[in-house]
């Protein structure tokens, strides 16, 4: 402890390795940096099994099977679980048909227990492979280990002592016999004494044995160990199996840190008849009917639709997987494959199913873009586990408030979070939201490298919170963007921190800044535009100081000019756009609204001149139904609901007249189209690319009497 507190060898740097559960025993004020030994990536999982087995056919069979099993594949990021899986599958392939390979986590651990029982029988008891593996001695040991596992799991203990083992009837001298399941750890205390400590090889083994103990007790005796005061009276009250499993679900959901999540998955998995053959002589047949299992499934689905944290909901989907029910997930996957997924029609349970699918997919969660699904606060909170698992999360213009910041702050504080880059630009977070985010940035576990808060209505107060957070955790951010806000004097404090050698920040963006940027929504980026008569086709008539254009029959007497559209009824704005720009247009009839490079062709009648039909322009067609076009590729955006700010789901409702707005973020490479309704912006579509030169506004008027007017905001 003197070393940790710096009383002894104060200039020394200590790197202490520990299990996560024991990390909080080190005083927080003594910790300068937190590191985490990460698990296997998907390629590393495959590499492990290819090195573990020499038979290529066997290896391919095992890898293919693991990839087909969602829960098993996810758990294989834990190296010790890869060892367990390899041990089990090698044994199963030797003794049974490959069609009987374990598919769920519970089945895998049941087989693992069987393998360890076989090893004990042969190695220590002198029995043969054909002898029953659940000998009286082995059954007693499993029962004792299960009791120990459950009692210590309830207390949150992963490490236990001789007295704990003795209370559960375990002989210390023979504890090492079950070395595949149980291991013995020694530590030196005060430099004079050795104190024996014990733990399971992995927390998941303790959780499985805990679930087996509870399942075994309920099945064999009728006693419900999950009740507040379990006794023989529990048996007399005749607790029905459905009630028993529902109680387990409720207790796991009430756990503040999720320490019963895996326990619940194992307990529910043990309720199925698939493992009964292997557990014969150890556990009585459950007699659990399919009706009971269906009741449990429906109960879990009700919880998924309710007010439950996103992390707990993901575990409930894992529970459904252990119960071999994939109906919710299958429904979403079917719609995803057919490209018929309408995000606005998803129920809360279906959003959670989507989160589970994203987390379970083989694709790396490198970038998560909320705009691809539905830009709303409710959806973000449902998909927080996906945010936590991603490397970069894009949340720009997603209608977020300080409520979202609570969830994001919890992700930043989590030591298991993979999040390194976040873009929250153009959300009205205000100072209150930034203060909540700063609480997450202060955490020693926060490893965020990039934070973009551009255009979030932040004043000096909010920037002051950022200064405080970064002083508390100077090794965190490398890029901070607070442009298009009003940082005031706090901006100078942020700039001063750039000179601090202890601060890792490489890039700080404060400009542009000022009080003008404290206007909510995208209208703060409004820019004055005029139309360029030198580009107007001669069938187009300009008026109102070049703010309005109408298509007419009469040929206009415009002079010849190289910029004029010769055949297509189009025209462009006078000036090019860089930075962030927003404008609104009132349109009537069949029109196209576009942004284009200056170099688009003007002469001839080919599609190279037409907005949207080349790589020079991006166009929205407003007639009958919205459609978007770029490089001669036309798509129909999905339908969307309205919002008071800029949403990123899409709308394809019909429109031949009305107000449309456009937002260009040139540095970010995005152009977004919105329908304006009662002062609300309803997102239609966003193009994302990399702009290489200034953009000009373009209009195409496709029929007679169609018109476009630039609006004042």
Last residue of a domain, one of 517, 533, 565: 517
Domain co-membership, 154 together with 192: yes
Residue 208 lies in a domain: yes
Q: 631-646, pLDDT tens digit by residue? A: 999 888 764 433 443 3
Last residue of a domain, one of 239, 257, 288: 288
The structural domain count of the chain equals 4
3-state secondary structure 185-231: EEEEECCCEEEEEEEECCHHHHHHHHHHHHHHHHHHHCCCCCCCCCC
Q: Any residues with CB less than 8 A from the CB of 194 and at least 6 apart, and which? A: 186, 187, 188
Distance CA 314, CA 312 (A): 5
Domain co-membership, 237 together with 266: yes
Token reading at 87:
């041990």
- Using alpha carbons, select from 564, 574, 562, 520 the residue that is nearest to residue 710: 574
Domain co-membership, 594 together with 682: yes
Q: 145-161, pLDDT tens digit by residue? A: 899 999 999 888 888 88
Q: 271-286, pLDDT tens digit by residue? A: 888 877 788 878 877 6
Give the mean pLDDT of the chain: 85
Domain co-membership, 167 together with 233: yes
Whether 429 and 406 have beta carbons less than 8 Å apart is answered as: no
pLDDT at 687 over 50: yes
CATH of the domain at 477: 3.80.10.10
Residue 127 lies in a domain: no
Domain co-membership, 412 together with 478: yes
- Please give the helix or strand (H or E) that residue 393 lies within, else none: strand 392-394
Q: 675 or 196, which is more confident?
A: 675
Q: CA angle 554-559-561, nearest 5°? A: 120
Q: Residue 479: which domain range? A: 364-517
The distance between the two most distant Cα atoms of the chain, rounded to a whole number of Å, is: 107
Residue 407 lies in a domain: yes
Lowest average pLDDT, out of 284-298, 303-317, 594-608, goes to 284-298
Domain co-membership, 534 together with 671: yes
Residue 309 lies in a domain: no
Residue 350 binned pLDDT confidence (cut-offs 50, 70, 90): confident
Distance CA 200, CA 249 (A): 24
Average pLDDT over residues 682-711: 94
Q: What is the percent of the chain where pLDDT is above 90?
A: 48
Domain co-membership, 502 together with 547: no
Per-residue confidence (pLDDT) for residue 288, from 0 to 100: 66
Residue 317 lies in a domain: no
- Using alpha carbons, select from 711, 364, 309, 275 the residue that is nearest to residue 529: 711
Per-residue confidence (pLDDT) for residue 261, from 0 to 100: 92
Q: Which long-range contacts (CB under 8 A, 24 or more apart) does 494-502 make?
A: 494/463, 494/466, 494/467, 494/470, 497/467, 497/470, 497/471, 500/474, 502/474, 502/475
Distance CA 515, CA 410 (A): 31
- Please give the helix or strand (H or E) that residue 164 lies within, else none: helix 162-167
Domain co-membership, 505 together with 582: no
Residue 321 lies in a domain: no
Domain co-membership, 537 together with 508: no
Residue 97 lies in a domain: no
Q: CA angle 570-707-551, nearest 5°? A: 55
Whether 247 and 224 have beta carbons less than 8 Å apart is answered as: yes
- Using alpha carbons, select from 624, 613, 610, 629 the residue that is nearest to residue 671: 629
Per-residue confidence (pLDDT) for residue 341, from 0 to 100: 56
Domain co-membership, 600 together with 626: yes
pLDDT at 419 over 90: yes
Domain co-membership, 417 together with 468: yes
Residue 89 lies in a domain: no
Residue 509 binned pLDDT confidence (cut-offs 50, 70, 90): very high
Last residue of a domain, one of 234, 265, 288: 288
Domain co-membership, 591 together with 490: no
Residue 191 binned pLDDT confidence (cut-offs 50, 70, 90): very low
Lowest average pLDDT, out of 236-240, 368-372, 404-408, goes to 236-240
- Using alpha carbons, select from 572, 525, 566, 544 the residue that is nearest to residue 668: 525
CATH of the domain at 608: 2.60.120.920
Residue 483 binned pLDDT confidence (cut-offs 50, 70, 90): very high
């Amino acid at each position: 402890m003197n070393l940790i507190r710096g009383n002894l060898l104060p200039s020394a740097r200590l790197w202490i390795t520990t299990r996560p559960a024991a990390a909080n025993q080190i005083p927080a004020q003594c910790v300068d940096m937190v590191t985490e030994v990460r698990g296997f990536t998907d390629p590393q999982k495959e590499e492990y099994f290819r090195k573990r087995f020499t038979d290529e056919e066997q290896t391919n069979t095992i890898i293919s099977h693991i990839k087909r099993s969602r829960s098993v594949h996810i758990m294989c990021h834990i190296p010790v679980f890869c060892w367990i899986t390899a041990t089990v599958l090698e044994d199963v392939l030797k003794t049974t048909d490959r069609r009987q390979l374990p598919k769920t986590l519970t089945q895998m651990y049941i087989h693992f227990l069987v393998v360890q029982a076989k090893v004990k029988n042969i190695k220590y008891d002198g029995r043969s492979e054909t002898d029953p593996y659940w000998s009286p001695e082995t059954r007693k040991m499993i029962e004792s280990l299960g009791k120990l596992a459950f009692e210590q799991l309830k207390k949150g203990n992963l490490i236990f002592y001789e007295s704990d083992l003795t209370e559960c009837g375990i002989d210390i001298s023979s504890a090492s016999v079950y070395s595949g399941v149980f291991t013995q750890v020694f530590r030196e205390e005060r430099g004079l004494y050795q104190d024996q400590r014990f733990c399971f090889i992995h927390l998941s083994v303790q959780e499985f044995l805990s679930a087996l103990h509870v399942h075994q007790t309920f099945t064999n005796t009728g006693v419900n160990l999950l009740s507040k005061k379990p006794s023989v009276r529990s048996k007399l009250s005749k607790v029905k199996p459905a009630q028993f499993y529902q109680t387990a679900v409720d207790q796991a959901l009430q756990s503040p840190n999720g320490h019963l999540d895996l326990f619940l998955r194992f307990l529910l998995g043990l309720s199925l008849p698939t493992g009964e053959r292997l557990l014969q002589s150890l556990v009585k047949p459950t007699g659990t009917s399919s009706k009971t299992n269906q009741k449990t499934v429906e109960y879990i689905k009700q919880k998924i639709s309710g007010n439950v944290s996103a992390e707990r909901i993901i575990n409930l989907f894992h529970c459904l997987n252990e119960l071999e029910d994939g109906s919710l997930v299958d429904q979403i996957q079917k719609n995803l494959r057919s490209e018929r997924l309408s995000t606005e029609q998803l129920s809360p349970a279906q959003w959670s199913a989507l989160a589970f699918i994203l987390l379970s997919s083989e694709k790396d969660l490198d970038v998560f873009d909320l705009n691809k699904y539905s830009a709303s606060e409710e959806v973000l909170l449902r998909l927080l586990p996906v945010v936590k698992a991603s490397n970069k999360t894009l949340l720009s213009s997603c209608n977020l408030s300080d409520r979202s910041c609570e969830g994001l702050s919890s992700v930043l504080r989590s030591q298991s979070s993979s999040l390194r880059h976040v873009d929250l630009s153009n959300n009205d977070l205000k100072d209150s939201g930034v203060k909540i985010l700063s609480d997450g940035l202060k955490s020693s576990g926060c490893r965020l490298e990039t934070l973009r808060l551009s255009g979030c209505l932040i004043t000096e107060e909010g920037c002051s919170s950022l200064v405080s957070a970064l002083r508390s955790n100077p090794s965190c951010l490398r890029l901070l963007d607070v442009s298009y806000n009003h940082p005031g004097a706090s901006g100078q404090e942020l700039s001063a921190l750039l000179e601090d050698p202890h601060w890792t920040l490489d890039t700080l963006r404060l400009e542009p800044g000022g009080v003008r940027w404290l206007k909510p929504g995208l209208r703060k980026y409004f820019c004055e535009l005029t139309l360029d008569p030198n580009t107007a086709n001669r069938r187009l008539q300009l008026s109102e100081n070049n703010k309005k254009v109408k298509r007419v029959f009469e040929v206009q007497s415009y002079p010849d000019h190289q910029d004029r559209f010769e055949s297509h009824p189009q025209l462009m704005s006078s000036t090019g756009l860089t930075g962030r720009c927003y404008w609104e247009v009132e349109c009537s009839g069949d029109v196209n609204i576009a942004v284009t490079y200056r170099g688009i062709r003007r002469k001839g009648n080919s599609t190279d001149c037409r907005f949207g039909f080349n790589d020079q322009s991006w166009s929205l067609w407003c007639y009958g139904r919205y459609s978007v076009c770029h490089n001669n590729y036309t798509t129909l955006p999905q339908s969307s609901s309205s919002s008071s700010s800029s949403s990123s789901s899409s709308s394809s409702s019909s429109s031949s007249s009305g107000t449309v707005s456009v937002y260009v973020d040139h540095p970010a490479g995005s152009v977004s189209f919105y329908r304006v309704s009662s002062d609300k912006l309803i997102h239609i579509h966003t193009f994302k690319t990399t702009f290489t030169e200034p953009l000009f506004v373009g209009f195409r008027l496709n029929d007679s009497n169609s018109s476009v007017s630039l609006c004042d905001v």
